[in-house]
Amino acid sequence: MAFTYSPLGSVTVGSGGSTTITFNNIPQNYTDLVLKLSSRDTYAATGLTVWANFNGNTTSTHTYSRMFGSGSGTGASSDATQTRLFVGDHPGSTATASTFGNIEMYIPNYTSGNFKSVSNDAVQELNNTTAYANLSATLWSNPTAINRISLTCQTAFAEFSTATLYGIRVEL
Amino acid sequence: MPQTYTPIATTTLASSASSYTFSSIPSAYTDLIVVFNGTATSANNVYLQFNSDTGSNYSMTYLYASGSSVSSGKTSNTTNIYAMGLPTSNATLTMTVINYSNTTTYKTCLQRGAESAVTATVGLWRSTSAINAVKLLTDTSFASGCTFTLYGIKAA
């Protein structure tokens, strides 16, 4: 039987928030990973960035290129010397109440000996004049298999933020 | 029981190749997903064709961002669908074709490319034929080690 989109772990943030959401000891017997995040920041702002690190690595080997729409305009940015991976934007504590951003990370061939290319889609909608939709391409220039994913944000993930990691296995 | 993301075919290139084709695609699914991961032997682009059709029956609209600039454009009456640029560093392409086996409508596909730039493209193949083959091709070559995987999604 082929297994796809098998849940590998899920985190729901409790009261008080959490500075990091981490998936440890990721099984190495899948082909691709998909991480789905619904989140909000405890920092007082309307839009803030979510970041990812693999295997605890914080060297300047992370690259991103992104395009975004804000409701009133479009733009793009990139950086080739980051210590973490850009994932997307989510709302902060002063954004419209009860709104959480949605982010999906697609990580193909996460156990390969190649550098790791990640495709991210991130959206937030606040019934407001400004909310960000991001499409980003990120690269971790490291050939090591991914066994750990850590998500961070400006201050902390707010209560009720959830993250689920899925494995996709190609088994014919 | 509904099934999702059923693997249909996968391959890892043992040597460089200018193209790769998923052929004899079963018609039993509702949607198709193609996932590509890999590099080019020298930087070029990835294009798509269906059912060995090399006629001017394709068109495409894209969103593209690199550095601090974002752009959009389109092509019409082309012999393939541009999917993304392909650098010599690792890149990922995901492609979705919804309702691929119907014989009533033209076929629309959605691509997300993650390479040194970000791309989102929508392509149209002006044919009502059911899709039974998907070809990914380049201007030069896919490098050895590139992986190509085809999934089917069945609604029920």
Question: pLDDT tens-digit profile of A93-105?
Answer: 999 888 899 999 9
A146 CB neighbour count, 10 Å cutoff: 21
Question: pLDDT tens-digit profile of B113-147?
Answer: 998 899 999 999 999 999 999 999 999 999 999 99
Q: How far is B55 from chain A, CA to nearest CA, in Å?
A: 31
Q: How far is B59 from chain A, CA to nearest CA, in Å?
A: 22
Any chain B CB within 8 A of the CB of A111? no
> Are A75 and B70 a contacting pair at CB < 8 A?
yes
Task: Give how far Cα B97 sits from Cα of A14, A134, B130, B151, Å.
Answer: 39, 22, 11, 11
Residue A72's SS3 state is coil
Burial class of residue A49 in the structure, from the number of CB atoms within 10 Å of its CB (0-12 exposed, 13-18 middle, 19+ buried): middle
Residue A73: its pLDDT value, please?
85
Least Cα distance to A94 among A133, A60, A128 occurs for A128
pLDDT in 10s for each residue of chain B, 156 residues: 445 678 999 999 999 999 999 999 999 998 999 999 999 999 999 999 999 999 999 999 999 998 888 898 899 999 999 999 999 989 999 999 989 999 999 999 999 999 889 999 999 999 999 999 999 999 999 999 999 999 998 776
B35 CB neighbour count, 10 Å cutoff: 23
Interface test with A, best of B11, B37, B142 (most A CBs within 10 A): B37
Quick one: closest CA in A to B112, which residue? Answer: A119
Any chain A CB within 8 A of the CB of B110? no
Distance, in Å, from the CA atom of A63 to the CA atom of B91, rounded to the nearest integer, reads: 12
> Are A172 and B114 a contacting pair at CB < 8 A?
no
> What is the pTM (predicted TM-score) of this model?
0.86
Give me the mean pLDDT over the A114-134 stretch. 87
| Token pair listed for A166 | 């899925």
String of b and e for A76-92 (b: at least 16 CB within 10 Å)? Answer: bbbeeebebbbbbbbbb
**Which residue, chain included where needed, has tokens 């609604």?**
B155
Minimal Cβ distance to B35: which of A2, A32, A77: A32
Q: How far is B149 from chain A, CA to nearest CA, in Å?
A: 8
Task: Report yes or no: B87 and B46 within 8 Å, Cβ to Cβ.
Answer: no
Q: How far is A15 from chain B, CA to nearest CA, in Å?
A: 34
Residue A117's SS3 state is strand
Number of A/B CB contacts below 8 angstroms equals: 105
**R_g (Cα) of chain B, nearest Å:** 15
